[in-house]
A and B are shown apart, each in its own frame.
Chain A
Amino acid sequence: MIDAKYKMGGFIALAMLLAVSPLFLNAYWVDVLNSVGLYALLALSLNVILGDAGLYNMGHAAFFAVGAYTAAYLNTQFGVPILWALPISGISAGLFGVVLARPVIHLRGDYLLIVTVGVGEIIRIALINNVFGVTGGPNGIFGIARPELFGFRIRRPQEFFYLIWGFVAVTVFLFARLKNSRFGRALDCLREDPVAAEGSGINTGRYQLLAFMVGAAWAGMAGCLYASKMTIISPESFSFWESVLIFIIVILGGAGNIAGVILGTFLIIGLPELFRGFASARMWFFGLAMMIMMIFRTEGILPHRPRIFKNLDRLLP
């Protein structure tokens, strides 16, 4: 129990340090943190699908793209304010996730993996080819407005920092609750043994779809935030590599572990920024480090652990 308290205290201290960091960091580093925040959102959303439900999804950038393009289109064509577009991006990406997953969800692990890769590529190619004339082709969509909150326009990196990390905080709060609930348990069972889960009375097909829906919706909302931060979006931001990167973050950080996934994002997105000087050898080290990490921490930096219930004795008959 004391151990858990220290851990919690440590997390809070780190969160507070992060919260005040824009006060002493320059704009460049705040921007790096912003991009860590966006990747953290993407990784947390993929974690629901990959880490919790155990569904191999290596096309997560597709949902990110659907959300970003929805927001960009609504904003530039109809002047919908970005923060209003946020839920719509989430809903459209979530729906897209369900429609996509419905026919392929029963495929075994690696088959699902290549299908999601395929979907990611199809979406990217569709964006490049200006599908339905709404995506702007290879150049993408530009002139997306900055978000506005109570009449205050969010523009500088420091301001975006609080928007993005505020959203990360809300996400962590909600997803942590989700984990410790009937829903989260059902996903755990699904990952551990789908046959036993179904045999224990869990509607596994439904939960697989719900996992995809939640993960896709959150990635969509991350896409909306991304669109408004960049003001320009184009297909190259939603490449196969992005999907792979998010996948790596989740597994390396610790599939199913929220703190692990966030730590993983800092390591994979933030840390390489420190080594910008070694431009060309940086990726070489990155690959090497990935192999070494996986060999020495096979379940990720912070592995998933069974939930600890408090005050069980009180409930005993």
Chain B
Amino acid sequence: MSLLSIRNLTKTFGGLTAVSDLSFDVEEKSVVGLIGPNGAGKTTVFNLITGNYQGDRGDILFDGAAIAGLPIHRIVTLGIARTFQTIRLFQNMSVLENVLAGRHCRMKSGLLSSMFKPPAEKREEQEALRFALGELAFVGLKGQATQKAGSLSYGNQRLLEIARALATEPRLLILDEPAGGMNEQETEALVGLIGKLRERGLTILLIEHDMSLVMRACEKLVVLEYGCKIAEGPPLEVKSNPKVIEAYLGAD
């Protein structure tokens, strides 16, 4: 059974149909790319999955259960974590605190235990710190833990968003243009990182404009144009699909 399954999803804004009768599956432990020209509705699909938008019709099944209509933080807790196209870090907090924020949903301490700090709370904090530092080391930001998030380079901010998402222990990781604003070396490192994430057993759904990255990192592509799916399949097959070629050339 696939981990994420989108069925006949439709979303309109006013008179504009952003996503139209879209269906596709994301298999467990696979890397799937959602591509298409600007304005094709890719980020809208992401926002529908994460609960930031509510669809008009259709179902979103995660691990067999419908998640449409759940609050955003519940969806995160169920195991879907995301990064944002326009980086949304807690700019004035430290790098480490940003990752700890992602750890929040796996922690239990409430108001009173936060105030009175019984041993269980202290243990949990230590555990969270250790976990967060582990994820920072994983994405290669260990040395910057105490810096302000806003002071990181653009590429590193993207990595920090991934670390924050990883801290929620997701099963499905949704990356919205992870290579956006990265230079060639950083993009290269990102391809490596996606490979490592995959080795960890994560399922990844990503939007990306960098075609060389998409071709190397993904094993399946879903192509959108004007909110409709126009092609789906392995990268090489999709690349030679005449409809896809037309969509890209036509858009440019």
Listed in ascending order, the chain A residues whose CB lies under 8 Å from chain B are 174, 177-178, 181-186, 188-189, 192-193, 195-205, 210, 214, 304, 306-309, 312, 315-317
Q: Is B41 an interface residue (CB 8 A)?
A: no
Contact: A185 with B97, CB < 8 Å?
yes
Q: How far is the CA of A193 from the CA of B91 in the complex (A)?
A: 9
Q: Return the CB mask of B100-139 against A: 1 if under 8 Å, else 0.
A: 1110110101110011110001001110111001100100
Q: How far is the CA of A186 from the CA of B107 in the complex (A)?
A: 11
Ordered by A's residue number, 26 sampled pairs between the chains whose C-beta atoms are within 8 Å are A177-B115, A178-B115, A182-B114, A182-B124, A183-B109, A185-B97, A188-B90, A189-B90, A192-B90, A192-B93, A193-B90, A196-B88, A197-B101, A200-B81, A200-B101, A201-B104, A201-B168, A202-B73, A202-B105, A306-B92, A306-B97, A307-B94, A312-B145, A315-B130, A316-B137, A317-B133
**With A177-B115, A181-B117, A316-B137: A200-B91 Cβ-Cβ less than 8 Å:** no
A210 nearest CB neighbor, chain B only: B111
Q: How far is the CA of A185 from the CA of B84 in the complex (A)?
A: 20
Q: How far is the CA of A210 from the CA of B102 in the complex (A)?
A: 19
Q: How far is the CA of A29 from the CA of B235 in the complex (A)?
A: 78
Q: How far is the CA of A316 from the CA of B96 in the complex (A)?
A: 12
Contact: B92 with A192, CB < 8 Å?
yes
Note all chain B residues with C-beta closer than 8 A to A308: 146
A306 nearest CB neighbor, chain B only: B94
Q: How far is the CA of A184 from the CA of B93 in the complex (A)?
A: 12
Interface centre among A185, A202, A308, A312 (most CB of B within 10 A): A185
Note all chain A residues with C-beta closer than 8 A to B168: 200-201
Contact: A307 with B125, CB < 8 Å?
no
A192 nearest CB neighbor, chain B only: B90
Closest CB in chain B relative to A1 CB, distance in Å:
13
Contact: B104 with A186, CB < 8 Å?
yes
Additional A-B contacts beyond A183-B109, A201-B104 (10; CB < 8 A): A174-B115, A188-B97, A189-B90, A193-B89, A197-B90, A200-B168, A201-B77, A202-B73, A202-B105, A315-B130
Closest CB in chain B relative to A45 CB, distance in Å:
14
Contact of A196 among B89, B114, B126, B148 (CB under 8 A): B89
Contact of B137 among A200, A204, A214, A317 (CB under 8 A): A317
Contact: A199 with B82, CB < 8 Å?
yes
> What's the tally of chain B residues with a CB closer than 8 Å to chain A?
49
Q: How far is the CA of A61 from the CA of B50 in the complex (A)?
A: 39
**With A193-B90, A307-B94: A200-B164 Cβ-Cβ less than 8 Å:** yes
Note all chain A residues with C-beta closer than 8 A to B194: none
Contact: B101 with A183, CB < 8 Å?
no
Contact of B104 among A185, A205, A312 (CB under 8 A): A185
Q: How far is the CA of A200 from the CA of B104 in the complex (A)?
A: 8
Note all chain A residues with C-beta closer than 8 A to B116: 174, 177
B99 nearest CB neighbor, chain A only: A200
Q: How far is the CA of A162 from the CA of B116 in the complex (A)?
A: 23
Contact: A183 with B111, CB < 8 Å?
yes
Note all chain B residues with C-beta closer than 8 A to A309: 96, 129, 146
Note all chain A residues with C-beta closer than 8 A to B137: 316-317
Note all chain A residues with C-beta closer than 8 A to B133: 312, 315-317
Note all chain A residues with C-beta closer than 8 A to B104: 182, 185-186, 189, 200-202
Contact of B73 among A177, A182, A184, A201 (CB under 8 A): A201
Q: Is B72 an interface residue (CB 8 A)?
A: yes
Note all chain B residues with C-beta closer than 8 A to A197: 90, 101
Q: How far is the CA of A198 from the CA of B84 in the complex (A)?
A: 12
Listed from nearest, the 4 A-B pairs whose CB atoms lie closest are: A201-B105, A181-B114, A201-B76, A183-B114
Contact of A315 among B52, B94, B97, B126 (CB under 8 A): B126
Q: How far is the CA of A58 from the CA of B101 in the complex (A)?
A: 28
Q: Return the CB mask of B147-188 against A: 1 if under 8 Å, else 0.
A: 010000000000000001100100000000000000000000
Q: How far is the CA of A182 from the CA of B124 in the complex (A)?
A: 10
Closest CB in chain B relative to A306 CB, distance in Å:
4
Note all chain B residues with C-beta closer than 8 A to A189: 90, 93, 101, 104
Q: How far is the CA of A204 from the CA of B81 in the complex (A)?
A: 16
Q: Is B39 an interface residue (CB 8 A)?
A: no
Contact: A317 with B134, CB < 8 Å?
yes
B100 nearest CB neighbor, chain A only: A185
Contact: A200 with B117, CB < 8 Å?
no
Q: Is B142 an interface residue (CB 8 A)?
A: yes
Contact: B126 with A185, CB < 8 Å?
no
Contact: A203 with B71, CB < 8 Å?
yes
Q: How far is the CA of A304 from the CA of B94 in the complex (A)?
A: 12
Contact: B88 with A195, CB < 8 Å?
yes
Contact: A192 with B134, CB < 8 Å?
no
Contact of B50 among A192, A199, A316 (CB under 8 A): A199
Note all chain A residues with C-beta closer than 8 A to B88: 193, 195-196, 199
Q: How far is the CA of A304 from the CA of B92 in the complex (A)?
A: 9
A176 nearest CB neighbor, chain B only: B115
Closest CB in chain A relative to B247 CB, distance in Å:
30
A256 nearest CB neighbor, chain B only: B92
Q: How far is the CA of A315 from the CA of B137 in the complex (A)?
A: 12
Q: Return the CB mask of B16-48 against A: 1 if under 8 Å, else 0.
A: 000000000000000000000000000000000
Interface centre among B115, B124, B145 (most CB of A within 10 A): B115
